[in-house]
Structure 1
């Protein structure tokens, strides 16, 4: 994957949702394959806005199959190549914030971005989920959204602009209407759309 190919790729903006999971917090959920990261002062221009001493746009996270890459905004040369981001490592962003990427399970291509304190994401969210086909929610380490008090694992999937969930190991897929609190197994959650 060349840096020039990524800069020239014309992709629609990432679709954005907020997911509230009782006992776990609030999450910004982004679909797509490329997301800009920058300071919170220009939150309307970046997919992921961080309340820290970041440039307006620090760079771009790219997903290619199940791998994630970082493209620094200052590396705008034709020969620049995005750097692979290993799960559990910090992105090489400038400034004092430490932004970590976690890809918890080979069963899900989704990854979660977290910030070390005292820094926070804009819009009062606890983490950012870069959603692929599925999002895993539950108490176990392979889940994208983890809460030790959750009673079991569920899997969330998107079809068009609708989210569905089911307890892992069952066939009952339940729609999660936007703005309504839904219980799937022992997990209570609410989806909201976010406009940028």
Structure 2
């Protein structure tokens, strides 16, 4: 484990959110938002309205811009997200999860809760000097983000499709064609 379990979970959530808009938008409807929230196990209240969806989409865009940002930009924007939410970190235990940090009230807007969780995780990434673990997929035709939590920092491809397989097959075929 590179980071605390809640940080890794939050980073996976950020990557998943950003990747909903990477190659084809898979976060256009309330049902898709419900599926995303359930898959990422975000807790707290929900409004299930257009404003909630717009808020999450705006946050997605904001976080996508941070994924490969320079450290000073990451720090500035992360601090802005925390400041805007008036974040107050607290240890909590819920839904079968062990102790972890929340910095918003359960009734805060979904986008605010997701944003603060993302900002806190990105804070840990910056503090650990591990920005290189946040990458863009190495496949030429993919714009998804990659979270590399491997020990040897070798992960190059995203989870959104079969980018690794497709790239390796293309390289194999190119080698065979030139032989």
Higher relative contact order (CA 8 A, sep 6+): 2
TM-score, structure 2 normalization: 0.29
> Which is richer in strand?
1
> Which is richer in helix?
2
